[in-house]
Structure 1
Amino acid sequence: MSLKKLPQPQAFERPEGYTWDAPAIALDQWAENPLAAEADDANTVSIYGVIGEDFWGEGFTAKRMAGALRAVGKNAVTVNVNSPGGDMFEGLAIYNLLREHPAKVTVKVMGVAASAASVIAMAGDEVLMGTGSVMMIHNAWGLVIGNRHDFADAASVFETFDASMASIYAARTGMKEADIMAMLDGPTRASDGTYMTASEAIEKGFADAEFEGVSDSAAAKAKLPANILAERRMDAALAKSGMPRTERRALLADAKGGARDAAPTVTRDADALTAGLAQLFTAIKS
């Protein structure tokens, strides 16, 4: 099991009609640099996307982590994290997988570890923050569609989930759970929780030390194709405008699909991206 005595949270049942999302500000920061350089070490696992399957059928899931840890076996593992968060249920499942790993777990925050990704980071026996990296914690959130009973059930699950996260953060930092709950709320309950720089995360006990970030040449190898990067930036912009994840997903799909049907040329992908971005900018302004 983990070298640290980390708390084992209870299993949670997803509320009916629940749809996850990542914090808009975290999406915005992550969209500017959604990847970090891949490691050559076979015992390194990289989490460079949202937690849970995203719009493009990507993202990092508990199933992927389980497969990666099977390949690592009983050896020490390093987990590189650059993620805006996402599905809180998947995040907790990944945390538990790392918590139960029989050898040392080192977590390196390469850029952003926000929301569910920060919970995953807490499973590290050693948590290292890259130069210029950010960690963010906040109350569990998501979209629930249904009747008043569905909303009541969801509120109960979210409240229990917040308490579970607080116990995990408290065990890592040594802080009182009441103080952690205040950090989850942020300055106001309408805020986005608490953001910490590398030095602040270390000072508060969320991390142990700082390391130098990846080199420019190494980071260059991990750049996304321009069209995917543009789509993710648009997703972040729409999230900041207040559009729910399900609506963003539908709009992104319509923008790409509609533009392709209208412009079946050799430069179809470029035309689709241009037309799609124009539609998304219009949506943001409105």
Structure 2
Amino acid sequence: MKFNEIIARAFRAKDGQRAALKVRNAEEDGSVEVLLYDQIGFWGITAEEFKRELNAIDADTIHLRIDSPGGDVFMARAMKTALEQHKAKVIAHVDGLAASAASYIMLGADEIEVAKGAFIMIHNAWMITLGDTRDHAASAQMLDKIDGSIRADYAQKTGKPAEEFRQLMDDETWLDADEALEMGLIDRVYEKDGGAENRFDVSIFENAPDALTKPAEPEPDWAATIAAHQRRLEFFERCAP
């Protein structure tokens, strides 16, 4: 099995369906909404697809809505660059999850807000290498360079030294909205309607919070409960002397 197939299976939406990239008019003011509600890469939303759709947008404001477990690091870099180079003001909204590569795609926006109950996750880049010691050493050097560039992105946003993010990335750190705000990774927290269940299987990560890994408690079936009580009442009525 190829590496991208492994990741695709790990990050697949729980219902097996892709949300894919969607672009739509958001408001009467002419702003445009872009939904990045999928994995990043050939098994989800590609950088080519993202840039093509983004370049076709002629608006003063773009609302980038994110719910993604991450994916291909280099595609994410290209997508972040496309956001930075677009003429529109970009406002990123993390509606559910901005994990791994998605956590620095959002940094391409001019403003970032995260919903109450949503999460951001930062960690070191991953790679699978086949070969001898020289091949693995070269991969380790490449990973170190990638991690350094990502730390620099987080540092630029927060104003903190890049080294402060080394341990956080080593530890695979999950941040709720308030923690991300306190760290300076985002600009504000917003209340969202509802509170949708996490759509992705994030068990591939080591420290995913229970809120994203444990199945939600099923809603009580009140109609069935009432019907059962009604049947029980009817039974007692028939049996009563």
| TM-score after normalising by structure 2 | 0.71
CA RMSD of aligned residues (A): 3.4
The unaligned stretches of length 5 or more in structure 2 are 207-241
Secondary structure in 1 aligned to 2:192? coil
CA distance in 1, matches of 2:103, 2:191: 20
| Alpha-carbon distance, 1:74 to partner | 5.3
**Do the aligned partners of 2:155 and 2:161 also contact (CA within 8 Å) in 1?**
yes
Q: Deviations over 1:179-225 (max 9, x none)?
A: 11121112xxxxxx111000000110111111222447xx79xx9xx
Q: Does 1:175 align with 2:154?
A: no
Secondary structure in 2 aligned to 1:163? helix
CA distance in 1, matches of 2:5, 2:73: 7
**Alignment partner, residue 45 of structure 1:** 34
**Do the aligned partners of 1:34 and 1:83 also contact (CA within 8 Å) in 2?**
no
**Alignment partner, residue 145 of structure 2:** 160
**Alignment partner, residue 250 of structure 1:** none
One-letter amino acid of the structure 2 residue matched with residue 89 of structure 1: F
The unaligned stretches of length 5 or more in structure 1 are 1-16, 187-192, 224-228, 242-286
**Alignment partner, residue 181 of structure 2:** 202
**Alignment partner, residue 106 of structure 1:** 91
| Alpha-carbon distance, 1:106 to partner | 0.6
Distance verdict in 2 for CA 1:128–1:34, change over 3 Å: farther
Secondary structure in 1 aligned to 2:86? coil
Distance verdict in 2 for CA 1:179–1:185, change over 3 Å: same
Distance verdict in 2 for CA 1:31–1:18, change over 3 Å: closer
**Do the aligned partners of 1:82 and 1:109 also contact (CA within 8 Å) in 2?**
yes
| Alpha-carbon distance, 1:35 to partner | 5.7
Greater RCO (CA < 8 Å, at least 6 residues apart): 1
**Alignment partner, residue 83 of structure 1:** 68
Q: Which moved more, 1:144-153 or 1:110-119?
A: 144-153
How do 1:65-80 and structure 2 match up within 5 A?
65-73=50-58, 75-80=60-65
Give aligned-pair identity as a percent: 31
CA distance in 1, matches of 2:176, 2:8: 17
CA distance in 1, matches of 2:167, 2:5: 23
CA distance in 2, matches of 1:206, 1:152: 32
Distance verdict in 2 for CA 1:165–1:108, change over 3 Å: same
Which structure 1 residue ranges, 4+ long, deviate > 3 Å from structure 2? 17-24, 30-36
Distance verdict in 2 for CA 1:18–1:162, change over 3 Å: farther
**Alignment partner, residue 124 of structure 2:** 139
From 28, 43, 62, give the equivalent of 2:47.
Answer: 62
Secondary structure in 2 aligned to 1:177? coil
Q: Which moved more, 1:94-103 or 1:163-172?
A: 94-103
| Alpha-carbon distance, 1:132 to partner | 0.4
CA distance in 2, matches of 1:80, 1:40: 13
Secondary structure in 1 aligned to 2:108? coil
Q: Which moved more, 1:65-74 or 1:85-94?
A: 65-74
| Alpha-carbon distance, 1:34 to partner | 7.8
**Do the aligned partners of 1:88 and 1:140 also contact (CA within 8 Å) in 2?**
yes
**Alignment partner, residue 226 of structure 1:** none
One-letter amino acid of the structure 1 residue matched with residue 48 of structure 2: K
Q: Deviations over 1:226-274 (max 9, x none)?
A: xxx8xx65xx56x479xxxxxxxxxxxxxxxxxxxxxxxxxxxxxxxxx
Distance verdict in 2 for CA 1:75–1:20, change over 3 Å: farther
